[in-house]
Amino acid sequence: MDSPIQKSFGEIDIEFNKNSVSKFYQKGASKALLPNNYREYEELVLINTSGGITSGDEYLYKLNLNDSRVSISTQAAEKIYSGLGKCANLKIDINIVKSDVLWLPQEIILFNNCNFARRINLNLDIFSNLVMCETTIFGRTSMQETVERGYFSDLWKINLDEKIIHAEAINFSGEIKEFITNKTNLNDKYAVNTILIIGKEFIKKAELLDINKYENKNVKIAISQWDNKILIRSIGKNSYYLKFAIIKILTYFLGDNLPNVWNS
For the cut 80, the answer to whether the pLDDT of residue 133 exceeds it is yes
Residue 192 Rama label (left phi>0; alpha psi -120 to 50; beta): beta
> Nearest Cα to 233, choosing from 176, 184, 195?
195
Q: What percent of the chain lies above the pLDDT cut of 90?
A: 67
Per-residue model confidence as pLDDT tens digits over 235-246: 998 888 999 999
Can you tell me the mean pLDDT for 37-60? 94
Percent share of the chain, pLDDT over 70: 96
What does the pLDDT look like over 134-175, one tens digit per residue?
A: 999 987 766 767 788 889 999 999 999 999 999 999 998 878
Q: What is the DSSP string of 109-156?
A: EEPTTEEEEEEEEEEE-TT-EEEEEEEEEES-GGGT----EEEEEEEE
Query: For position 178, what pLDDT does the model report?
Result: 81
What's the pLDDT at 198? 95
Name the nearest CA neighbour of 96 among 24, 169, 15.
15
Q: Cα–Cα distance between 168 and 194 in angstroms, integer?
A: 10
User: What is the arithmetic mean of pLDDT over 246-258?
Assistant: 93
The answer to pTM > 0.85 is yes
Q: What is the pLDDT of residue 230?
A: 94
pLDDT band at 1 (very low <50, low <70, confident <90, very high): very low
